A and B are shown apart, each in its own frame.
Chain A
Amino acid sequence: MYAYDELDRTLINERVSEFRDQVKRRLSGELTEDEFKILRLQNGVYLQLHAYMFRVAIPYGTLSSKQLRRLAHVARRYDRGYGHFTTRQNIQFNWIKLAELPDALSDLAEVGIHAMQTSGNNMRNVTSDQWAGVAPGEIEDPRIWSELIRQHTTLHPEFSFLPRKFKIAITAAEHDRAAIKIHDIGLRLHKNADGETGFEVLVGGGLGRTPFIAKTIKPFVPGRDILSYIEAILRVYNQYGRRDNIYKARIKILVHELGIEKFAKEVEEEWKAMGDVGLTLDHAAIEEVRSRFSYPAYEKLPHMPDELKQAAHDPLFERWRKNSVSAHKVQGYSIVTLSLKPVGGPPGDATAEQMDAVADLADKYSFGEIRVGHEQNLALPHVAKRDLPLLFKALDRLGLATPNVNLVTDIIACPGLDYCSLANARSIPIAQELTRRFANHDTADLIGRLHINISGCINACGHHHVGHIGILGVEKNGEEFYQITIGGRADENAQLGTLIGPAVPYAEVADVIEDIVEAYLALRDRPEELFVDTVKRLGVEPIRERVYATR
């Protein structure tokens, strides 16, 4: 965990008091709604269909039990008793009253949580691998760098009014769980030939109406130079990014229009011209931040404790363990994913009671630490294997042990037309229907890894372009229709999906998805071949033929 010091706490409180003043000026009419809109967006407050929506940052997906309890408190005290975890390591509350927002922020600030830059045209919450610091084979803990970048991007005096939003994600593992290739800047921590730690820097990824996979702008930037290099990218973007059309204002469009070589050259020139502006991170500076991260005092535990051997006779436990428990870098420990995708439930939602209970379980079994992943699930990152059977029982009682992590019902979905004023179509009911169709866990196991991502409009908050199956809601003559793509992925081999056929009406979506899955089962060359690999091997056509032959 990163421990906030007096300076971090002071800054968060100063931001709360500034926001309190802004709300007061709005309520008194001193600020127009137009002026206030930009100011509230800088602090995570959207106006949705029914109410204000409040988005709170969970930087690089790390939470303490104390912080999670406070999120539960906000859900209970200021909202309707639940929160929604998003694809960018944030949590959203959907029913907040404007006049109460400053108090909610103030309650969160007491535990070092804020909503700074969770929306608006600024540098957004820095995201990372939810297994950071515990994943086997990681180069080093990417949260050290995430925190350095979090601080650097917070209330940045030059880059708080960019052409459009700007998202940075960091990974240090071979398998990318942070989806860095669909970010404005993606950072992949690695070591060069001399053993020096640095970053491959990617730029210009993003979804929305014009999706792009990020391109490498520089294969290696030493860690000590990463802030100045990011500053150079931002400065070029701030000056040359388009401001005439919000749909062309993201950095991906600038990179696309200039070409990556020309853009890289502009950045390189700016970076050289900057000289020493106090951004170089020397060893002491990096160690200063590193020293604020505390790590659990792990015990020396056996790889296969008796408790685990005994529990192996329980098929329900075994199914859950195989699905939701992952290898930890320390022997005798595991990373446990908590599915927020129960059959029939809205993806990513958690009730205040669940949050409190997870906080208690984290204290008991995971050194008080919780993680949040972009797939809208939670994780307990340091669970002793001997505790897995008891943890399973507790999670099962809470409805948090659905054994569907990475399977067909582990659906990513945006709030859609049930909440969002931008949406053209509903997302959540589609997800709910699909979880009912594939509720049989044996069937889901048989299908294997399959990511379905659903967005209720072209803005792509549900990452439909990079779902193995992507579902996009559109509006046709006042009715909800859905375009379906297949073959997308968001990992280290990120790719955009391909449209499989004409859009289908709301009532037919689940049928079409079932047909796509059946076509895959018939076409895969062996059970281990994942859906996305079959699509890659065969292309879209054979699946299209089977699905649309009778339509």
Chain B
Amino acid sequence: MPLVKQGRLTTDLFVHVADGVELPGDGAVLVTAERFLADPEALLRRAGKVGVIWPNNRNLDELVPYLDRLASVALVFPTFRDGRAYSQARLLRERYGYDGELRATGQILRDQFVFMTRAGFDAFEVKKDADADAFAQTMKRYSVFYQPTGDGRVTALNRRMQLRHSESAGQ
């Protein structure tokens, strides 16, 4: 599955390791929340980066204490209709200050890229090659944004106020 990271198609350095499967000695791994929480310290001590796949119905409070030591948090879209992970993403970025990789996994289509980026995602496990190829193009689709989110894009309201301010300053 193609991975888009920081706007580019990239080789995925992380290996998804299913529960019950032995962890590789080193190298980056993504493990389930259950596996991670069973012994977080042991996992965080191992050589190689650790990321956690966090279900969209699990409270983030359990994850928050480890955020600064995680290399990736993968949030799940079981179908693209299910938008719970958008809230989780914004909370991780905007409330808990998480600044590591925030990955979207599951049914990811190009039609979600803008929403996801605005919610704080910076890595995307994209279902279809054509969508992954279209990432840069798709991100250019919108230039106007009404809501303030943690992504720092200036909202339409703020742009209008700035314009008004500069107009009145010029008089």
Interface residues of A (CB under 8 A from B): 5, 7-8, 10-11, 14, 17-18, 22, 30, 35, 38-39, 121, 151-152, 154-162, 235, 238-239, 243, 273-274, 277-279, 284-285, 288-289
Contacts and interface: CB of A to CB of B under 8 A. Distances in A.
Given A8-B156, A11-B144, A274-B95, 5 more contacts: A7-B144, A18-B111, A38-B80, A158-B115, A273-B95
A7 B83 contact: no
Interface string B111-152: 100111011000000001010000000000111111111000
Contacts of A158: 83, 86-87, 90, 115, 119, 149
B68 to A, nearest CB: 20
9 contacts: A7-B144, A30-B128, A39-B111, A151-B157, A155-B146, A157-B114, A158-B86, A288-B161, A288-B164
Contacts of A151: 146, 156-157
Given A38-B81, A157-B118, A14 B157 contact: no
Interface string B151-167: 00001110111001000
Given A39-B111, A160-B115, A285-B161, A152 B146 contact: yes
Contacts of A17: 141
Q: Which of A5, A7, A38, A39 has the most CB of B within 10 A?
A: A7
B67 interface: no
A154 B142 CA distance: 13
B109 interface: yes
Nearest to B85: A161
A231 B95 CA distance: 14
Contacts of B164: 288
A157 B119 contact: yes
Closest 5 pairs between A and B when the two form their complex, measured CB to CB: A161-B83, A278-B148, A157-B118, A11-B144, A151-B146
A288 B160 contact: yes
B99 interface: no
Contacts of B148: 277-279
B147 A156 contact: yes
A18 B159 CA distance: 23
A126 to B, nearest CB: 13
Nearest to B86: A158
Contact of B147 (A22, A157, A162, A238): A157
Contact of A14 (B82, B94, B141, B160): B141
Contacts of B84: 238-239, 243
Nearest to B107: A35
Interface residues of B, number: 36
Task: Say whether chain A's binding surface is mostly helix, strand, loop, or mixed.
Answer: helix
B134 to A, nearest CB: 9
B159 A7 contact: yes
A152 B143 contact: no
B156 A7 contact: yes
A154 B147 CA distance: 8
Contact of B82 (A161, A274, A289): A161
Interface in B66-101: 80-84, 86-88, 90, 94-95
Nearest to A279: B148
A161 B146 contact: no
Contacts of A18: 111, 141-142
Nearest to A282: B161
B80 A14 contact: no
Nearest to B153: A157
A243 B78 CA distance: 11
Contacts of A273: 95
B75 to A, nearest CB: 12
Contacts of B147: 152, 156-157
Nearest to B117: A157
A30 B130 contact: yes
B161 A154 contact: no
A238 B111 contact: no
A285 B119 CA distance: 23
Nearest to B94: A277
B82 A10 contact: no
A290 B122 CA distance: 37
Contacts of A156: 146-147
A238 B83 contact: yes
A274 B147 CA distance: 15
